[in-house]
Structure 1
Amino acid sequence: MKAINKLGRYVAKINNYSPWLHSPLLSLLFGKAVKFAGTASVKVDLLNFQQAQLSLANKTKVQNHIGSVHAAAMALLGESASGFLVGLHVPDDRIPLLKSMQLNYVKRATGKLVATTALTDEQIQFIRDTEKGDIRILVTITDELNVEPVIAEFVWAWVPKQRK
C-alpha cells in the first residue's frame, strides 16, 4: 500500500530499515508526535498500513493505587493504537480527531498490556476517499496472562484542515 501523507511516508521509510530498528524508531516518532504517549512510554511494536500493535509496560508512572496499569493509561494505549493506524490514511489536507471512546473495564490487568487493531481494505479506502467522515475501530487489549481487561472501541473522525 502506498503512503498518502507525511506520517505514512515516515512509517514506510522506517519499515524499510532492518527489522530490529522498526520498534525503537516508530516508538520515538510516535512519542515525539504525541507527547502524552511519549511520557507514558507507549511502545510501538508493529505498525504498517493494515495493523498496529502497541504496548505499555506496568511501570510506576502509569500505575494506579493497586499496582496495575491505570484505567486512563489503558485508554491512552487503545487510543494510540487506533489513532496511529487511522492517521496513516488521513490525507495531509485533513485532521484526524478522536470523536469518542467506549471502554468497559471487565477484569483487573496483570503486567504489561498490548493493544492490537487492524483496518480492512474497505475501511482504508473509505478514510482515504472521504473528505469528512468517521470510522469505528475495535482495539483488543490484553495483559501478560492473555486476559482482556478492557473492551475498547474508538470512533475516529477526520475533517478538512480549512473550513469551507
Structure 2
Amino acid sequence: MEANNKLSRLVTKVSTAPAFLQSFLLSQLFGRAVKFAGTAGIQIQQLNFQQARLVQKNRRKVQNHIGSVHAAAMALLGESATGFLVGMHVPDDRLPLLKSMHLDYVKRATGQLTAIASLTPEQIANIRNQEKGEVTVQVQLLDEVGVEPVLAQFVWAWVPKKRSASN
C-alpha cells in the first residue's frame, strides 16, 4: 500500500530504520505529537497500513486506586491505536476526528495492556476516497495474561480541513 499523507510517509520512513529502533522512534514521535499519550508512556510496538499494536505499561503514573491501569488510560490506549491507524489513511486535506467511543469494562486488568486495532481494505478505501465520512474501528485490549478486560470500539470521522462556502 502506498503512503498518501504526511503521517504515513513518516511511518514508512521510520520503517527503513534498523528494526530495534523503529518502535522507539515511532513512540517518541507520537508522544511529542499527542502530549497526553507521551505523558502516559504509550509505546508503539507495530504500525503498518492495516494494523496498529500499542502498549501501555502498568506504571504508577497511569494506575488507579487498586494498582491496575486506570480506565481513562485504557480509553487513551484504544483511542491512540485506532486514531493512529485511521490517521495513516486520511489525506492531508482532511481532518480526522474522534466521533465517539464505547468501552465496556468487564474484568480487572493484570499488568500492561496491549491494544490491537485493524482496518479492512474496504474501510481503508473509504477513508482514502470519500471526502468526508466515518468508520467504526474495533480494538482488542488485552492484558499481559491474555484477558480482554475492556471491550471497545471507536468511531472516527473525517472532514475537509477547509469548510466549503455552503457550510
Q: What does residue 26 of structure 2 align with?
A: 26
| Aligned residues with identical type, % of pairs | 65
Query: Aligned residue for 2:77?
Result: 77
- Structure 1: runs of 5+ lacking an equivalent: none
* TM-score using structure 1 length: 0.99
Structure 2 CA distance for aligned equivalents of residues 163 and 122 of structure 1: 26
Distance in 2 between the 1:25 and 1:2 partners? 21
After TM superposition, the structure 1 = structure 2 runs for residues 115-126 of structure 1, keeping only pairs within 5 Å, are 115-126=115-126
Amino acid at match of 2:36: F
Runs of 4+ in 1 over 6 A off after TM superposition: none
Q: Give the distance between the partners of 1:126 and 1:21, measured in 2 at CA.
A: 32
1:121 partner letter: P
Aligned position for 2:131: 131
CA deviations 1:116-154 (Å, max 9, x no partner) are 011111111110000000000000000011000000000
Matched, 1:109 2:109: yes
| Equivalent position amino acid for 1:82 in 2 | T
Following TM superposition, by how much is the alpha carbon of 1:3 offset from its aligned partner in structure 2, in angstroms? Answer: 0.7
Code of the residue aligned with 2:14 in structure 1: it is I
Shift in Å, 1:89 = 0.2
Residue 53 (structure 2) aligns with: 53
- Distance in 1 separating the partners of 2:69 and 2:143: 10
**C-alpha distance in 2, partners of 1:120/1:130?**
15
Q: How many positions carry a matched residue from both structures?
A: 164
Partners in 1 of 2:6 and 2:51 — Cα distance?
A: 18
The aligned amino acid for 2:158 is W
Q: Give the CA deviation at 1:107.
A: 0.1
Superposed CA RMSD in Å reads: 0.5
1:42 is aligned to 42
Instruction: Give 1:21 deviation, angstroms.
Output: 1.1
Question: Displacement of 1:18 after TM fit?
Answer: 1.2
Tell me the SS of whatever aligns to 2:114: strand
TM-score by structure 2 length? 0.97
2:67 equivalent in structure 1: 67
Counterpart residue type for residue 80 of structure 1 = S
Q: Which amino acid aligns with 1:16?
A: T
Q: 2:10 matched to 1:10?
A: yes
C-alpha distance in 2 between matches for 1:145 and 1:20? 25
Q: Which amino acid counterpart does residue 40 of structure 2 have in structure 1?
A: A
Q: Deviations over 1:71-94 (max 9, x none)?
A: 000000000000000000000000
